[in-house]
Amino acid sequence: MLLDSNDAVPGRFEPLDLRELIGLVGDEELGWASRAVQLAAFDRDHRFCGRCGRASQPSPVEHARLCEACGATVYPRLSPAVIVLVERGDMCLLARSPRFPPGVFSAIAGFVEPGETVEHAVERELAEECGVTATDLRYAGSQPWPFPHSLMLGFTATYAGGEVRIDGTEVEAAGWFAADALPPSPSAGTIARRLIEEFAARAGARSGRRSG
């Protein structure tokens, strides 16, 4: 169950926002916490049938809500999102959202829209938010992102063309950053941070080989 803001926290525990757990606990623990929050929120937000408005009931055999009046079954929603780090030699494209903490830049990200493949979503987000194109899209991993119910799919790609041109809404600043002069990154434990750190490590290895 979800505790209300007025509920007492049991025992010697203290409340902690789910985002604060990123980088503080391991992936398995974070996964369980994410699952608990999303399932509890699903039960809270789907107490009534979205088709006929009658009260729904939890399924006895799976994570779902059932409407006995019209027979509708609703499952927990998962919204896929993509995040891509575009590389241009030893530089990468990073952008800043107005919602980020001061000074923080990250890889380009956005939700997959109805009818899209993840590849199309990456292409569209890059074009809409920064005005660039990329090629050689490579899957890099995924991360549950329960804010409120997403799955983040991570990619790297190679710059293909275009000049950086921000949309001014989702992105307030963007540019190419050298691996040895990166701005502050998202929190440790996020897939965005991992993409950036792995890029910096690859660029550092290439630089070492050249100097050697």
Q: Are 74 and 54 in contact (CB under 8 A)?
A: no
Of 27, 42, 74, which closes a domain? Answer: 74
Domain range enclosing 46:
18-74
Asked if the model's pLDDT at residue 23 lies above 90, the reply is no
Beta strands in 53-149 (DSSP E): 57-58, 65-66, 73-74, 79-88, 91-96, 108-111, 133-145
Stated pTM of the model: 0.86
Residues 182 and 87 in one domain: yes
The answer to the question of residue 153 being in a domain is yes
Domain with residue 42: its CATH number is 3.90.79.20
pLDDT in tens, 38-68: 999 999 999 999 999 999 999 999 999 999 9
Of 52, 74, 96, which closes a domain? Answer: 74
Residues 137 and 97 in one domain: yes
Residues 24 and 118 in one domain: no
The answer to the question of residue 161 being in a domain is yes
Percent of the chain with pLDDT over 70: 96
